[in-house]
């Protein structure tokens, strides 16, 4: 035995103490566990509890009272397990409903994004058309300005200099 069980664990004379064949952890279990396969507390691998020499499996038979207690405990554990299963099934149903809602929202959003992309493309196309029209107008304005005769100088008012008022 390489490791002893935790110091705070009392080992009784009726306990079976043995090592895990996978990791070497020292394990202890009540004699009623002889012949069972249990998970190692250290590595988690299944370990078969040895049957001590001189002990027969029939020695492990419980009294009627022990059997009744065991049955009651098993029923309690089954009831707890069933309640936990019901909780998990309810939670799973909730997750499925949430997933369905999210998938629907995703689908709706993908449709909206597609429509937005189409509208953005239309706006960009319209902007290109407007820019092209502005370029044509600008070119026409520049050509009109270049071909127009220079503006005539305004005529001077002949009466402005004699000081008379009309």
**Which CATH number is 49's domain given?**
2.20.28
Per-residue tokens: 111: 């449709």
**Helix (H, G, I), strand (E, B), or coil: what is residue 77?**
helix
Q: Is residue 157 part of a domain?
A: no
In a domain, 158, yes or no: no
Which residue range(s) make up the domain with 122? Answer: 62-143
Q: Are residues 139 and 66 in the same domain?
A: yes
Name the pairing type of β-strands 26-30 and 15-19: antiparallel
Do 77 and 133 fall within a single domain? yes
Cα atoms in the Cβ-side hemisphere of radius 13 Å centred on 166: 5
Going residue by residue through the chain (166 aa), what tens digit of pLDDT does each one get? Answer: 334 444 556 788 778 899 999 999 999 988 778 888 889 988 989 999 888 877 666 656 667 787 788 889 889 999 999 999 999 999 999 999 999 999 999 999 999 999 999 999 999 999 999 999 999 999 999 998 888 787 777 777 666 555 555 5
Q: Looking at the structure, do residues 81 and 123 belong to the same domain, yes or no? A: yes
Q: What is the pTM of this model?
A: 0.40
Can you say whether residue 54 is alpha, beta or left, with left for phi > 0 and alpha for psi between -120 and 50 degrees? Answer: left
Residues 30 and 51 in one domain: yes
In a domain, 66, yes or no: yes
Q: Which residues pair with 19 in a beta bridge?
A: 26
Total domains, the chain: 2
Is 151 a member of any domain? no
Beta strand extents in the chain (DSSP E only): 15-19, 26-30, 37-39, 46-48
In a domain, 150, yes or no: no
Specify if 159 maps to a domain: no
| Same structural domain, 29 and 73 | no
Distances (CA, A) of 125 to 42, 77, 129, 133: 69, 70, 6, 12
Burial class (CB in 10 A: 0-12, 13-18, 19+), 64: exposed
Based on the fold, state whether residues 20 and 83 are members of the same structural domain. Answer: no
């Amino acid at each position: 035995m390489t490791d002893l069980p935790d110091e705070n664990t009392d080992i009784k004379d009726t306990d079976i103490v043995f090592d895990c064949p996978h990791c070497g952890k020292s394990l202890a279990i009540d004699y009623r566990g002889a012949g069972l396969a249990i998970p190692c507390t250290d590595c988690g691998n299944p370990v078969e509890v040895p049957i001590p020499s001189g002990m027969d499996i029939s020695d492990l038979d419980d009294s009627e009272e022990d059997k009744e207690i065991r049955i009651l405990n098993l029923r309690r554990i089954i009831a707890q397990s069933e309640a936990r299963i019901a909780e998990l099934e309810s939670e799973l149903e909730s997750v499925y409903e949430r997933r369905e809602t999210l998938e629907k929202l995703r689908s709706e959003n993908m449709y909206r994004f597609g429509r937005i992309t189409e509208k953005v493309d239309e706006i960009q196309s319209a902007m290109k058309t407007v820019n092209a029209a502005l370029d044509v107008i600008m070119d026409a304005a520049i050509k009109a300005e270049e071909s127009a005769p220079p503006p005539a100088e305004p005529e001077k008012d002949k009466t402005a200099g004699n000081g008379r008022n009309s």
